[in-house]
Structure 1
């Protein structure tokens, strides 16, 4: 294992290895969400054979959460043991998210005013600026479209150092994951029964199992001393594929719900994602180690936050209507190609112009905070 720099700057550890495959999985998650909204938001008709886009590609967000739990544990676990380290952690997380989110917030405020003649009150603006909208039923979706997931992510960042105090080993982490699944299922049912609508899904407690599954994947790999074990990695990938196939089928999903309770099928995807992530640590997968998916993964936050606004623009320009006469396959492929080409271009610009300077500023602030 390579020698690391001092923890004074709270530089995330890589344990002697940069996990490019994790970046690629972020790219996959971003593409899942983009294709999901191509159907759900732009109303581009997908061929019947691609019905899984509407039914399953929304899982890109829980996959993001599982990756986030793993990456935070991989980079920071067992290191947040002083006031300075905590402040440095929060500084890095804030400046990783805030610059692009605030940029999109301004653009969405302008879009709402110019296109829909809509304005927002001071309380709504305050909730969005503070990232606390995820705590308020009815306000959880944010002014920034797709921003609901960012609100959940920021709340998890707030809790992460304190959660890790009790999740120092694999056993307690697995127990916490099981308890979080029970809590998530109860919250979804209780909030839905209370008439809270989308908030039953768009809240931290509902998605907490996915974050904890990522932490559990790290703790499991830590038990194996963070080493490569290709055979075991292949087994993890196979188990992820088998469980994913069961959950993909209506019958399998229903059987899990019937056996373990309502919402168990949805929560079981956390195990699929955790196994998949663990497989990337135990074994190198050439297709995920480099190439376009890895590049998209580095830009995944821009891809995620930019795509709804771009899609609104494309709707206004008539792209969905233009591809409709082309037939299901050609029309869908054309809409996807145009959307992705524009999105990747714009996301690359926002990544360089907004995200990278924000990351650099976060590092600078973190170095100063760590010295306190």
Structure 2
């Protein structure tokens, strides 16, 4: 099929963009006191990001596997180098900016929490500039330690989670080569679930699901979809059924019937948009229209900016929301308060993201490619910013 030979799937840019905007708008709703079902749940947007990450890692692995077989240790090093330089440069800049602005951001958050009659945020999340906290974040180990997993003003808990996934990814792919996709996904999901159960017995609590076993099942959903794309004899219904079962595992965040249904819908929608050529009649036509729309120039640009949007938005949102609350208080309704904040925050964050994408992300990715080509035994394939 055409998509099996392509180095690009139409809908991915748009889905990355939608996930970033979902998280931003969800946080705007939470910090202005207005509630809209589903949209006001930014953790679901993070789940979409996680599924996309699982898909992309497998998809690009499959494109490279002939020239960079995973049986070679240098392939692992190339993979880790690419991923490090994709994530680390912008994260390090935003980390030190967030720590420098910590007291100001903490004051802003206190204004918001007091106005909305919520329990105040822990001060150490904004004010801990200690060497242990900084070191744990520079080494991307913070997600493994409950005390450091949620200890900066950034939404970076998911980056620690992502780095854990990258660390385990080569081993998972070697397992897939040995057992096939279905049995590998079942085994990895079972191991993750067992670890979560043991961690619970030990009364270890993570403030956010920053520990890989808590979200491994969501990564597996995206990985299973990518596994379908490159198979000659495709079994999408079997893979989709397993992905739906994995997404229903009751851990890795707040769970209820509503969130369960949304997560299942995300899996179904993701499969439909990527595999729309397999859908019959009107369903295939509608999915194709959505997928191609998500590939247009606007969504491509927003997809490229999605990582910057995700990292930057809280640094802008909290001061803006606090300012609006301080100036207008209860004179504004919650919907109007939300509208004003979004109208200020969204374009500001997009502009800052465009700047950081060009000044930090692109040079970082080029550096990663240079390191791979300079020290790798074989020239690395060119990667795209969407990877």
Alignment TM-score, normalising by the size of structure 1? 0.77
The CA deviation string for residues 50-94 of structure 1, in whole angstroms up to 9 with x for no partner, is 23333x332111111110011011101343332332222111100
Please point out which of 361, 369, 377 is paired with 1:355: 361
- The 8 Å contact of residues 95 and 154 in structure 2, kept in 1 or not, is answered as no
Alignment TM-score, normalising by the size of structure 2? 0.74
- Other-structure match for 1:217: 225
Q: How far 1:192 moved relative to its partner?
A: 5.0
Distance 1:97 1:320 in 2: 35
The CA deviation string for residues 247-277 of structure 1, in whole angstroms up to 9 with x for no partner, is 9xxxxx9xx97xxxx9696678665444433
Distance 2:313 2:105 in 1: 17
1:282 correspondence with 2:268: no
Summarize the Cα distance change of 1:269–1:172 in structure 2 as closer, same or farther, 3 Å threshold: farther
- The 8 Å contact of residues 62 and 210 in structure 1, kept in 2 or not, is answered as yes
1:93 correspondence with 2:67: no
Distance 1:368 1:274 in 2: 39
Distance 2:339 2:255 in 1: 33
Distance 1:124 1:331 in 2: 35
Summarize the Cα distance change of 1:51–1:361 in structure 2 as closer, same or farther, 3 Å threshold: same
- Other-structure match for 2:20: 30
1:46 correspondence with 2:34: yes
Please say which of residues 340-349 and 314-323 is displaced more in the overlay. Answer: 314-323
Q: How far 1:157 moved relative to its partner?
A: 0.7
The CA deviation string for residues 80-137 of structure 1, in whole angstroms up to 9 with x for no partner, is 3323322221111000000000001110121126666934322222111100111112
Summarize the Cα distance change of 1:76–1:331 in structure 2 as closer, same or farther, 3 Å threshold: same
- The 8 Å contact of residues 32 and 321 in structure 2, kept in 1 or not, is answered as no
SS in 2 for 1:141: coil
Please point out which of 314, 337, 340 is paired with 1:308: 314
- Other-structure match for 2:139: 130
SS in 1 for 2:127: coil
Q: How far 1:138 moved relative to its partner?
A: 1.7
- Other-structure match for 2:382: none
Summarize the Cα distance change of 1:318–1:334 in structure 2 as closer, same or farther, 3 Å threshold: closer
- The 8 Å contact of residues 94 and 312 in structure 2, kept in 1 or not, is answered as yes
Matches for 1:197-208 after TM superposition, within 5 Å: 197-199=205-207, 201-208=209-216
Q: How far 1:356 moved relative to its partner?
A: 0.7
Q: How far 1:312 moved relative to its partner?
A: 2.5
5+ residue gaps, structure 1: 3-12, 227-231, 248-252
State the aligned residue count: 333
Distance 1:320 1:278 in 2: 45
Summarize the Cα distance change of 1:85–1:192 in structure 2 as closer, same or farther, 3 Å threshold: closer
- Other-structure match for 2:53: 68
Please say which of residues 119-128 and 305-314 is displaced more in the overlay. Answer: 119-128
The CA deviation string for residues 267-321 of structure 1, in whole angstroms up to 9 with x for no partner, is 7866544443332332342221214333211111100000111123324533675
Distance 1:193 1:87 in 2: 35
1:334 correspondence with 2:340: yes
Q: How far 1:206 moved relative to its partner?
A: 0.6
Matches for 1:1-372 after TM superposition, within 5 Å: 15-40=5-30, 43-46=31-34, 50-54=36-40, 56-77=41-62, 78=65, 79-112=69-102, 118-143=127-152, 145-168=154-177, 172-185=180-193, 187-188=195-196, 191=199, 194-199=202-207, 201-224=209-232, 272-283=265-276, 284=288, 285-318=291-324, 322=328, 325-371=331-377
Distance 1:28 1:313 in 2: 24
Summarize the Cα distance change of 1:323–1:342 in structure 2 as closer, same or farther, 3 Å threshold: farther
SS in 2 for 1:198: coil
The CA deviation string for residues 138-180 of structure 1, in whole angstroms up to 9 with x for no partner, is 21124352110000001111111111001138x7433343444
Q: How far 1:225 moved relative to its partner?
A: 6.9
Q: How far 1:212 moved relative to its partner?
A: 1.3
Summarize the Cα distance change of 1:330–1:38 in structure 2 as closer, same or farther, 3 Å threshold: same
Distance 1:291 1:183 in 2: 41
Q: How far 1:366 moved relative to its partner?
A: 1.3
Please say which of residues 352-361 and 77-86 is displaced more in the overlay. Answer: 77-86
